[in-house]
Amino acid sequence: MIAAIEPTSTWYLILAALLFCVGMVGVMVRRNPLVMFMCVELMLNAVNLSFVALAKDLGDIKGQTIVFFVMVVAAAEVVVGLGIIVAILRRKPQATADDMAELKG
């Protein structure tokens, strides 16, 4: 019989690091504000995965509590940020991140 390999917290931390790197490269390389926004969300989820993995490894619930608050803030960010980005992209479909810099007051 083949023995099942149980993933350890190291596997989850490596996956979180890879997801964070993909998100970071996406933010640095892409100029589309919607794609950049999704990459920032990917980075937030990678950090959440590492918090949960370490909380499970340490046997403490504080990491999972932090993840809950990060998800609440990220949900509020999605509502406001996505609304602004969609409104701008409807008005000017080829808008880039450089065009968004003009919104500074």
- CA distance linking residue 97 with residue 42, whole number of Å: 18
Q: How wide is the angle at C-alpha 75 spanned by C-alphas 92 and 79, nearest 5°?
A: 30
Q: What is the CATH number of the domain that holds 49?
A: 1.10.287.3510
Question: Whole-model pTM?
Answer: 0.83
Domain that holds residue 21: 9-103
The per-residue pLDDT for range 47-80, each reduced to its tens digit, is 999 999 999 999 999 999 999 999 999 999 889 9
The per-residue pLDDT for range 28-50, each reduced to its tens digit, is 999 888 899 999 999 999 999 99
Residue 88 lies in a domain: yes
The per-residue pLDDT for range 75-105, each reduced to its tens digit, is 998 899 888 888 888 888 888 877 777 766 6
Residue 4 lies in a domain: no
